[in-house]
Amino acid sequence: MRPFRFGVLHTTRGGILPVEKWTQAAIQLEKLGYSTVFWQDHFSTRAYDPIAMLASAASVTKTLNIGSLVFAVDFRHPTILAKAA
């Protein structure tokens, strides 16, 4: 039986996290044993691009999985989104 894993979803409801604090948070999440971090993509709130933020988390961690719950494709051309991912 596989061990149970935990993930974290970053939301912008409490305000946005500066990039430096975000990368520090990703490192801490990995140290605490979390397996995955998710970033939301919403244009209705003031937030950073999920691809850039998830890439920054991946650049400072070794085992942390990254993902976006959904991409707001109404605001992104599918070809550009596929190329960025």
Model pTM?
0.81
Query: 15 in the Ramachandran plot: left (φ > 0), alpha (ψ -120 to 50) or beta?
Result: left
Q: What is the pLDDT of residues 24-66, one digit of tens each?
A: 999 999 999 999 999 888 776 677 888 889 999 999 999 999 9
Chain Cα centroid distance, residue 30:
13
Token reading at 26: 């990703």
pLDDT digits (tens, 9 = 90+) for 27-37: 999 999 999 99
